[in-house]
Chains A and B, each alone.
Chain A
Amino acid sequence: MPDAAPVITLEGVTVLYGAQRALQDVTARFEAGAVGLLGPNGAGKSTMIKALLGFVKPTSGRMRVLGYDVAASPLPIRARVGYMPESDAHIPGMNAVSFVAYCGELAGLPRVDAMQRAHEVLFYVGLGEARYRNVETYSTGMKQRIKLAQALVHDPDLLLLDEPTNGMDPKGRDEMLALVRDLAHRKGVNVIVSSHLLPDVEYTCDHVVVMDKGRVATEGPIAALKQPRGRVYELRVKAAELQTFIAALSAAGLECHETDEDVMRVFVPGDGGARDIFTLASTSGVQVRHLRPSVPTLEDVFAHAVGEK
C-alpha cells in the first residue's frame, strides 16, 4: 500500500539515557502493513518502541502514531496499539485466560467481551488447551505467545512486537512468524517487528527500517533495497590468502562481506563482473576456489547499511 498514510512517523527524535544517546536525531516513517525494525543489539530499536508508547520522553523531535501526536495523545494511541514487550511480562497470580481478559478490560473492552476475546485470541496464538494454566508455569515459548495474545485482545490497529521469537524453539518460532505474517497480510493489522534476526524480518515484513547506533541506517521496501546496485558473487579463496585478497578487493573499490562459512560475498559495482575478480586474483597471486553469481539478500542490505565487513 504505497499510497497509504504512514502509521508512524518520527522527525528528528533524540532520546537520552543519562549521557548515553539511545536515539540520535532519528527521522523515519513506517508504512502501513508489516515493517521490520532491524538492527544489532543496542541499536535503539526497543528505545524507539518505548518512546512511541510514551515510556521514555525524547529530548527533541516529534513522533506521530496512527495520526496522533505521541506527546499530546498517548491514551488514544495506546487504545489502538498492541505492545508485545521483549522481556517476560505477565500479571502475577492469574491464569492465561484471566490475564488476557484483564488486559482487554484495561484497554476498555466490556468484561464479557474481553473474556470472549481472550478465549478466541488464546486459541489463535495456540494456547487454547493451556488457557486455564497459571502463566507463571508456562515455558518460554508459551510466554511469548501469551504476550502476543495480550497485545491482540483489544484488536489493535497497530502491533509493536519487540523480538517476538526470543527464546523460541525452531517450530515455535516458525509458528510465531506465521502468526505475525497472517496478522499483517490477511487480518489487516499493521505490524512493526523489532528484531535482530534478519530471516524473521525478511519472512514477515514488506518494508524495513535498519537501525545502527541510535540512527536510521537505511529504510524502504525490502524488495527495492535488495535490488542489485551492481553484481553479487559468492567467493572462496585459500584461507591463508583471505586477508590479502580482501585488502586487494577493497583497494579496487569492491565491497566484500564475510559470511558464517568460509564464503565471502563480493559486490562488484556498475557494469563490472566476474572478470574483474579473476583479474584481481591473478594480479594478487590468489587462487580462486569457488566463484558463483548470487542475488542480494536482506543480510547484504543490512551489512551495507551498517557498514559491516
Chain B
Amino acid sequence: MPIHDQGYRRYGGERAPHGRAWAVIASAGVRTMLRKRAFLGLLLLAWAPFFVRAVQIYAAANLPQAAFLAPTPEMFRDFLTQQNVFVFFIAVYAGSGLIASDRRANALQIYLSKPLLRVEYVFGKLAVLLVFLLAVTWVPAIVLLIVQVMFAGNFTFFVDNIFLFPAITLSAFIQTITVSVTMLALSSLSRSSRYVGVLYAGVIFFTQAMYGVLYEVTRDSGWSWVSFSANLSQVNAFIFRMRPAYDTPWPLSLLVLAAVIALSAVILERRVRGVEVVA
C-alpha cells in the first residue's frame, strides 16, 4: 500500500496569535533539562545552602544559645555570593548548548521558518537559563526571607531591613541576566556545547586572573573592572549597602556589565540567522 494512503487531513482548528513562540521554546527547554537526572541533582545540590541557612535562622529564633547566629542583611548577600558556584555550573550545564546544539543540528532554519521573530527565539532560549538561575538565587533568597519571618514570628527584622526584598531581587536579576545573556552569546559562537562551556569558564577565570595579575603589579584594586565576577560583586555590595571589596566605583562596574550585555546582544543579532552567509 502506498504510504500516502495513510491519509492527510487539513487542519481546521485554532491557531495562537503571533508572539507566543518564545514561551513554547522556553517551556520545551525547561522540560528537556528537567528530564536529565544529573541536572536535577545539581538543582537539588544548589538548594543545600538554603537548608543550612534555614537551620541557622531557626536556631537563632528558637535557641537563646544560638543568638549569635541571628540573621543580618550581610547573611543574605553572603548567601547570594555562595550561590555563585551553582550559578556557574548551571549556566554551563543548561546554557552552553542552548544555541550551539541548534547550530550543530541546523535547527535555526527550522525555527526561523516558523512564524516567530529572531528576538522571540533568543528570548525563549534566554528564558530557559533565567528560570534555572533564578531558581537557585532569587527564589531561595526570598524564601529565606519568608522563613525568617515565620521562625521569628514577627516582622521586626523584615521591616527594619525593608530594603532586602528589592535588594535581593535586583541583585539576583542583574546577576542572572548578565550571566544568561553572556552564556547565550557564547553559545551562538560555536556548534559545540563543550567548547562553549570551556569558553565561558575562560571568560570567568581569565578575567579574574587578569585582575589578579594587574593587582599584583599595581597593588591597586581599582583594576577590578576587568573581572566579570568582581564587577558583579561591586554592584551587589552597592545594592546591599555594604562596603565594596574593591576600589572600582560601582557605576563603572555597572557600566562594564551593561557593555557585556550590549556586546552579547550584538553577537546574538549577528549569529542567530536562518542562513549563514560566508561572503
| Chain A residues packing against B (C-beta within 8 Å) | 17-20, 50, 53-56, 75-76, 78-79, 81-83, 85, 87-94, 102-103, 105-110, 113, 117, 120-121, 123-126, 128, 136, 150-152, 154-155, 175, 178-179, 182-183, 187-188
Contacts and interface: CB of A to CB of B under 8 A. Distances in A.
A187 B97 CA distance: 39
A128 B6 contact: yes
Contacts of B112: 53, 55
B220 to A, nearest CB: 46
A179 B16 contact: no
Chain A interface, DSSP helix/strand/loop, else mixed: mixed
A151 B114 CA distance: 9
Interface string B90-133: 00000001000110111101111111110000000000000000
Given A90-B107, A106-B114, A179 B4 contact: yes
A106 B8 contact: no
B15 interface: yes
Contact of A187 (B8, B24, B279): B8
Contacts, number: 136
Contacts of B11: 109, 113, 117, 154-155
A217 B101 CA distance: 39
Interface stretch (B164-172, B221-229, B269-277): B269-277
Report, as a range, how many residues of chain B touch the other chain.
35 or more
Contact of B28 (A50, A102, A113): A102
Contacts of A182: 4, 8
Contacts of B32: 93-94
Interface of B: 2-4, 6-11, 13-18, 20-21, 24-25, 28, 32, 97, 101-102, 104-107, 109-117, 273-275, 277, 279
Given A55-B109, A79-B18, A106 B25 contact: yes
A108 B21 CA distance: 7
Contacts of B110: 83, 85, 89-91, 103, 150
Contacts of B116: 75, 78, 106
Contact of A120 (B2, B8, B15): B8
Contacts of B25: 106
Contact of B273 (A55, A93, A152, A178): A55
B204 to A, nearest CB: 26
Nearest to A175: B3
A75 B115 contact: yes
Contacts of A55: 109, 112, 273-275
A179 B3 contact: yes
A47 to B, nearest CB: 9
Contacts of A18: 277, 279
Contacts of A20: 279
Contacts of B24: 102, 105-106
